[in-house]
A and B are shown apart, each in its own frame.
Chain A
Amino acid sequence: MSLAAALKSAWSKPLLHALCLLPLLLLVFGLFADSLGANPVETLTHETGQWALRLLLVTLAMTPLQQWSGIAAWVRFRRMLGLYAFFYVVCHFSIWLVFDHSLDLAAMLEDIVERPYITLGFSALLLLIPLAATSTRAMIRRLGRRWKSLHRLVYAITALAVLHFLWLVKADYLEAGIYAIIATTLLLFRLQPVRRLASRTSAPTR
């Protein structure tokens, strides 16, 4: 089966659902098996945050993949991946609210206002809400042209998420730096000249 056919097949989406849920299942399993290390709350916070960022980047990779490979089916997964990114952001935020702030909303707000890296992370979460809310077919139809402009917010959200990560690093920037480089590459691809250059160097086979 060709890649294009595989991407379009009936089992591609269920498989992707399973893949996207796997990190969560492993974390829940790890929590009960006491295998998340000495500081399980920290592990849960970091892992859900990183999966949110990874899924955001994978979402952003779908359009470039479509253009490079010439296979239109890549874009079928964009909404689903974006929604999973949102799902992991909500997990990330909820763990922080429950275990770091014991659901104390005043303390949470103080942190959001006073800590720039938290301000950035929280802004990313807020900006994702309208995107998740307008991800249905009906909303796409209703918003028409405006839907596309609205969903360009994802570029800003990605930048916020990467900065949120970079800003809390104590000394070792390697890991956060790798995310920053991938994110920058994917965002640069949105610029017309870069995209034109990329499509010229790889001749698509349709």
Chain B
Amino acid sequence: MIRIKRRWELPAREVTPEPIYRQRRKFIRAGAIGALAMTPGAKALASIQIDEYRKGAITLDDKLTDEEDATSYNNFYEFGTDKEDPKRNSQRFDTDDWTIQVGGECARPGTYALEDLVKPHPIEERIYRLRCVEAWSMVIPWLGVPLASVLKAFEPNANAKYVAFRTLHDPERMPGQRRAVITWPYREGLTIAEAMHPLTLLGVGMYGKTMPNQNGAPIRLVVPWKYGFKSIKSIVGIEFTEQQPQTSWNMMQPGEYGFYSNVNPEVDHPRWSQKRERRIGEFFKRETLMFNGYGEEVAELYDDIDLRVNF
């Protein structure tokens, strides 16, 4: 392979524990505004502090994607449509005091602080394949909590057939939203069975650290058997619905992006093949696996539907 690594320069983050360098950045920022603002303990430093997590709760034999690649090659149109845009344009994105609005068919609707949703549950490290609809893929060690355990706390009722998710809509903070590339806010959805599936994760970090802004800080979905765009980022709204919710890519191109969007090498995107994918870090393409390799766990969810029709 013709790939010469030039990464001898050890970034500061590799020799400094994360809470400390985050604090340092925070301090520098606070200092710019005025040293008075920096009262110790006045406010939680980051929305989510990851002090400990269960290492290797779910692992894979696949080689991990280089962290630098996973954090600099992103589809997150809220920060621009080029792959390098999210990293460049999200550095000052402030996720402190993040809240999530919960509503719809459940007994406990309301506005919840991010910490209150995540803290009751132990954080797990799970290594998942990520397959983008654009035919590239990564292998990422996520940190998060099962979505099911968070959702159950809201006590969804019998009418809750689907869960709808919404990304923050704030063009001031998300410069990509100043252009109407898609209809903001970004929307996604799952069936209740998909949402409650043990593989479905609410991600709050990756590579042992808090979620980088460009990867969907502070909290995002990770649904490893579906195309990446289903794993909605920077979530501010969760709603239990009886009807199938609208989802952004499906609203834009219903013939190309279905509600389910399960990874399926047998069903091509109308404009390109989904049979193969390029694993980031590799030059040649490899075969794409049915349900991204999670068929054993999730295929039964789709026993009763035709995946060619419900793509």
- A residues apposed to B, CB below 8 Å: 31-35, 37-42, 99-100, 102, 111, 114-117, 167-168, 170-172, 174
Contacts and interface: CB of A to CB of B under 8 A. Distances in A.
Contact of B73 (A37, A99, A172): A37
Interface residues on B, range: 20 to 34
Interface string B208-231: 000000000000000000000000
Contacts of B268: 114
Contacts of A32: 2, 4
Q: Which of A39, A99, A114 has the most CB of B within 10 A?
A: A39
A99 B72 contact: no
B252 A171 contact: yes
Contacts of B2: 31-32
A35 B69 CA distance: 11
Interface stretch (B110-118, B199-207, B276-284): B276-284
5 contacts: A32-B4, A41-B283, A99-B285, A115-B273, A168-B272
Contacts, number: 64
B83 A171 contact: no
B136 interface: yes
B84 A37 contact: yes
Contacts of A115: 271-273
A172 B4 CA distance: 33
Nearest to B7: A34
A171 B273 contact: no
A168 B271 contact: yes
B188 to A, nearest CB: 15
A38 B70 CA distance: 8
- The B interface is mostly helix, strand or loop, or mixed, namely loop
B273 A111 contact: yes
Nearest to A103: B284
Interface in B73-106: 73, 77, 81, 83-84
Given A34-B6, A37-B84, A170-B134, 14 more contacts: A34-B5, A37-B72, A37-B83, A38-B72, A38-B73, A39-B280, A42-B136, A99-B283, A116-B271, A117-B271, A167-B271, A171-B181, A171-B182, A171-B252
Q: Which of B68, B70, B273 has the most CB of A within 10 A?
A: B273
Contacts of B281: 38
A34 B3 contact: yes
Contacts of B83: 37-39
Interface of B: 2-6, 66, 68-70, 72-73, 77, 81, 83-84, 134, 136, 179, 181-182, 252, 268, 271-273, 278, 280-281, 283-285
Nearest to A32: B4
A168 B271 CA distance: 7
Contacts of B252: 171
B170 to A, nearest CB: 20
A115 B135 CA distance: 15
Contact of B278 (A35, A41, A171): A41
Contact of A172 (B69, B181, B271, B284): B181
A117 to B, nearest CB: 6
The 3 closest A-B pairs by CB, nearest first: A38-B73, A38-B69, A172-B81
A168 B269 CA distance: 11
A111 B272 CA distance: 8
Contacts of A100: 278, 285
A151 B272 CA distance: 32
B271 A171 contact: no
Contacts of B68: 38
B107 to A, nearest CB: 38
Contacts of A34: 3-6
A31 B268 CA distance: 30
A168 B133 CA distance: 13
Contacts of B280: 38-39
B67 to A, nearest CB: 11
A31 B280 CA distance: 15
